[in-house]
Structures are given as C-alpha cells and as structure tokens.
Amino acid sequence: IRSSCKIIGQTAIGRAASVRQRDEEMLERKRKAEELNISGVDDQAYCLVVEEDEDSAMKFDLTPLYRACHIHGCLGIREQFHEYYYKNRLLQLNSDLEISSAQPFVESYQTFLAQIVGYFIVEDKVLRTGGGLLVPDKVETMWETALAKITSMLDVQFSHMNSATHLLLVKDYVTLLGSTLRQYGYDIGQLLDVLDNSCDKYHRLLLEECRSQTQDVLGNDSYEQMVIKKDTDYENHVLSFNIQTSDIMPAFPYVAPFSSMVPDACRIVRSFIKSSVDYLSYGVRTGFFDVVRKYLDKYLIEVLNETLLDTINSGNISVSQAMQLAANIAVLERACDYFLRHAAQLSCVPVRTVEKPQATLTAKVLLKTSRDAAYITLLSLVNTKLDEYMNLIEIINWTSEEPKPNGNEYINEVIFYLDSLMSTAQQILPLDAMYKVGTGALEHISNIIVGAFLSDIVKRFNANAVMNINNDLKMLEDFAHERFYTSGLGEIYREGSFKSCLIEARQLINLLSSSQPENFMNPVIREKNYYALDYKKVGSICDKFKDSADGIFGSLSNKNTKQTAKKKSMDMLKKRLKDFN
C-alpha cells in the first residue's frame, strides 16, 4: 500500500483538477453569455455531467491488513497490533515528509504532495473499514503532524522563490491537495492560511516580472501610429480592450491613433489580472475582487504609470514621440474601465457593480497626471524647436530700410512646422489636448516676439522692422484662425481661439504702429486695446523705437507731418511712462 500512495494521490489530485477545469469552463461560458446579453440562461445548459468509473489506482486492497488484525485479535494482542500499526505509520509519514535536497523543490513538489495525499486517503479508508484499528483522534494527530511540517516547509520554500510562476504552480497544486483531502474530512485551513500569507510575496514577484515586460514594450515601441490591416487584428488590438473610438468597423488598412505599445501594455495588464485572480482563487478569501482591484491599482500606478513617467522625463524623446506618448496615455485611461470590468468578470462579480461613476481605479486619475506630464514635455520640446526657427534677434533686420510685404523669411518655416504639428495632433490627440498644444505653441511665439523687442542685444529698431513683424504676425493669425475652426475646436472653445494666444504680440505691434501711441496712458483705451501689455515692458521697448530722419526735403511732405506727429506722440508716451515708473 505504501508504495502505491504516490499513484493514489496523483490520481485523486488529477480528478480534483478535472472537476475544477469543468467548473472554470462553465463559468467562462456564463461570462461570455453575459457579455452577449443572453437572458434566461439555464445553468443546467452549462453542466457537463461526466460519470467516471473508479480509477484502478484508487482501488487498493486492504485484505492483508484486515487478516493481520484478525490474527492478532485471535492471539489476544489486538491492542498491541493497533499501537504497532499507528507508530509505524507515523514513522512512515515522517519519512514521507522529508524533502530531498538533491532535487529543486519546484521539480519535486508534485511527487512529494501526491505521496501525502495518498497516505491520508489510505488512512481514511483504514479508519472507516479497519474495525477499530485506527480511531479518529489518532488520524487527527497524524494529520496535525503532517500539516505542521507541510505549512512550515511551504513557508520556507515560498520565502526562497523568486519566480511568480513557480509560486503560482505550487499554490495551485496545494489547493488541489486541499480540495482533495477536504472531501475526506481533513481540515485544510492552515494550508490556505499559508497561501494567503504569501499573497503579497506573489504579487511583488508578479509586479517585477510585469515591470520588466512593460519596460521592454515601451523601449521597443516605434512611437508611430499603428497600422491595422484586417478585421481580426482590429479585434485583437482594439475591440478586445474596448479602446475603439467608434462602434462602426473601420475600413482597412486602419491607422490607429495609438502606437503598438498600447495593445501590448493592455495584454500585460490583462495577464496581470488573470495571474492575480488565479492566485486568489480557491483560497481563504471568497469575495476577493477588492483584493484584485487593489493589486491592479498597484500595478497601474507603480509599474505602468512610473514607467511612462520615466520615459517622458528621460530627455531622450522627440516631439513626435512625446505627442504619441500623450495620445497613448489617453487611450490607456479609457482602457482602465475595461481592466476593472475584466477583473470583476474573472472574480465572478456582477459587472454592473463596477460600472457606477464612483467605481473607478485610482490609477485612472494618475494616468491623467502622466498625460499632463507628457503634454508639458511635448510643449517644452515644441517650444525649443520654435526657438530655433524664431531666433528673431539674429534673423531680423531691426533697422530695415524698406518693408517686406510678405513678411520675413523665417515665418514660412514656422507656419509649415506648426501646420505639420497641428495636423498630427488632430489625428491622434483628443481635442482638449490638441487645444493645449496649439495654445502653448502660439503663446510661446507671442512671448518670443515680445522678448525679442526687450532683448538687451536689440539696441534700437525702426518702423520698417515693426511693419515686417506685423506682416509675420498677420500670417500667423490667419493660420491660427483657420486651423482653430477647421479642427472643430470652435464648437467647444467659444470664448477663446488660437488667435487670442498671440494677443500680447498683437497689441504691442498695434501700439508701435499707432499714430497716437500716447493713448496707451488713457485708462479706457488701454483697457480696451492694450490690456495684455505691461507698463515696464512697454517703457523699455518704446525707448528703443527710433526712426531715422526723412531726408533734406522730407519736411515739405504731408507724410512727414504725420510722422512728426507720431514721433511727438511717441516721445510723450516715453516721458509719461518714465514719470509713471
């Protein structure tokens, strides 16, 4: 019998595994039916009842034991035989509970645990059919002995494991051992407590494994929009994570607003949820959805969100990569709702309970923070690029002898860059994000223009320079106005437009071009026409505005009269600003 215990145990555990698999398949079919909104489903439709003949391995013959017991009874030494049997079986149990150091535990645990299961299945039958050979107290003592050693051994082995997969494999086998022996009346509470106590250790290992996978996904991403060529790929990459922007199947090839890292990251999250549920299933906890949710939040915050932030703040990304990252994070925010529903489904929790407004993941809020960080990085990179195009101090002739009706040469490059930037943003970013990018870029251009006039390097400038920059600004304003309304932003942001982002530069140019600049000091006119301008800035800039003489015969022309009046008005403004300061 002892030599057969391993086979008996393996067979019994195999049966428990088959029952569990059938239960899981039934639950999966129910979940799919719920997803398809099939009502009135009869549970019996999912029950696959399989009648199994008792396996030959489970048929063990105790006749020699009964015979020996009978003989000892005839000799009048039945009690001695009972004690002899109990002591020898206890010694055998202690021997079975010794783990060989010659083989790693992850390679030997199944054989080891199957031997224990077989041992106690045999002892249960001896208890029931041995005619008093064993009594319940003695079986309980043997089980307590085994339980103490098994739990101690599992504690040690789990503490040494550095693979979540190995820990899960052992945990699954232990729960199968538990469900098998529970059928024979053995208390398995302590075993389940050991598994519960290792829950944090398992998830720490799982988090680190998923961190490595996530870093690889982000590191290997091309940060180019994903091209999906057929409906099956669309199903796998988009629909399966509920990240589609429309319920209508698109035409193929379909250019997604996200790069490949989004579905790859979603697959890692889905796998994490499944692994978390797998560990918590069949343990101490019955309703463990809140625990799964806690670890899901932990993964999204400490792994996915931190990895995204590390990438954003690395200083090694370009404008296009920063924009794609921002777009990707926006999609991952939407995917959080899917993650929560998926966790609920696997935890056998009604999905409707997690679709309430308050039932959301903390990580969804933090991902928005990462998206904002991506916008900040994107705008910083865009501004740096604009600085290269708009180095006005070096590329503008501040004392030009003639105006340029078509603006300065740099402005065409700036508008071309902005057009490319906004076109890409319109394809992949939400409208609110596109608005942030557009306003940020145009405000920076306005600051560059005003800053150039303020620069210590610019000692003086004339009316022609102002006129040229005015032409540049008009071209920018026309572009901003057209882009704002063709992109649909006008329907959302009725109170502000891209053109308004250039207001400081526009009001400065208007003031410098005005025939009566001293009106700046009139509170009513200033509030209406120059509210964006600062006194000190205007004073510093006006001091540099110095036009040359008009020529020897200039005083005879009507034009000169107007210029003289403007000059007097400008001089008056300069004086009043100095007095004001």
Q: 3-class SS at 308?
A: helix
Average pLDDT on 468-495 reads: 85
Sign of CA dihedral 423, 427, 429, 433: positive
> Distance between CA atoms of 35 and 554, rounded to whole angstroms?
86
Q: From CA 206, how far away is CA 278, in angstroms rounded?
A: 12
Quote the pLDDT of residue 50.
Answer: 40
How many Å apart are CA 148 and CA 475, to the nearest integer? 83
Query: 448 near 390, Cβ under 8 Å?
Result: yes
Determine the number of helices (DSSP H) and then strands (DSSP E) in the chain.
22, 2
Percentage above 90 pLDDT, the chain: 62
Other C-beta atoms lying within 10 Å of the C-beta of residue 413: 12
Is the pTM above the cut of 0.85? Answer: no
What is the C-alpha separation between 268 and 300, in angstroms, rounded?
11
Tell me, what's the pLDDT at 39?
43
- The per-residue pLDDT for range 499-533, each reduced to its tens digit, is 888 999 999 999 999 989 899 999 999 999 999 99
**Is the model's pLDDT at 418 over the cut of 70?**
yes
- One-letter amino acid of 561: T
- Give the pLDDT score at 57: 56
- 95 pLDDT band (50/70/90 cuts)? very high
**pLDDT value of position 575:** 86
Indicate whether 51 pLDDT > 90.
no
pLDDT the model gives residue 549: 45
- Per residue in 269-313, pLDDT (tens digit) is 999 999 999 999 988 777 889 999 999 999 999 999 999 999 999
- When pLDDT is averaged across residues 373-383 and rounded to a whole number, the result is 92
pLDDT value for 45: 42
Range 217-232 average pLDDT: 93
Question: Which segment of 172-186, 234-248, 345-359 scores lowest on mean pLDDT?
Answer: 345-359
pLDDT at res. 52:
46
Residues of the chain above pLDDT 70, percent: 91
Average pLDDT of 225-246? 92
| pLDDT over 90 (residue 486) | no
Which of 564, 550, 467, 559 shows the shortest CA–CA distance to 509? 467
Residue 37 has pLDDT above 70, yes or no: no
> For 474-495, what is the mean pLDDT?
83
Q: How confident is the model at residue 573 (pLDDT cuts 50, 70, 90)?
A: confident
Do residues 308 and 370 make contact, with C-beta atoms less than 8 angstroms apart? yes
Which residue, chain included where needed, has tokens 């290992």?
Answer: 205
Model pLDDT for residues 97-132, shown as the tens digit of each residue: 998 878 889 999 999 999 999 999 999 999 999 888
For 134-153, the pLDDT digits (tens) are 999 999 999 999 999 999 99
Q: Which residues pair with 120 in a beta bridge?
A: none
Q: What pLDDT, on a 0 to 100 scale, did the predictor assign at position 34? A: 67
Averaged pLDDT for residues 326-342: 92
How much is the pLDDT for 40? 45
- Overall average pLDDT of the 161-189 stretch: 93
Q: Any idea which of 41-45, 160-164, 318-322, 324-328 has the lowest mean pLDDT?
A: 41-45
Range with the poorest average pLDDT among 31-35, 170-174, 386-390, 530-534:
31-35
Beta-bridge partner residues of 427: none
Q: What is the pLDDT of residue 349?
A: 84
Helices 189-197 and 136-160 pack at an angle, to 10 degrees, of 10
What's the token pair of residue 531? Answer: 């509210």
Quickly state the pLDDT bin for 48 (edges 50, 70, 90): very low
Q: What is the residue type of 287?
A: G
Domains contained in the chain, CATH given: 2-190 (no CATH), 201-373 (1.10.357.30), 390-580 (1.20.58)
User: What local confidence, expressed as pLDDT, does residue 60 receive?
Assistant: 82
**Whose CA is closest to 428, among 224, 130, 150?**
224
The SS3 assignment for 255 reads strand
> Residue 490's pLDDT band (boundaries 50, 70, 90)?
confident
Per the prediction, the chain carries an average pLDDT of 87
Identify the band that residue 55 occupies on the pLDDT scale cut at 50, 70 and 90. low
Least confident range of 212-216, 370-374, 486-490: 486-490
Q: What is the pLDDT of residue 359?
A: 56
pLDDT confidence tier of residue 430, bands split at 50, 70 and 90: confident
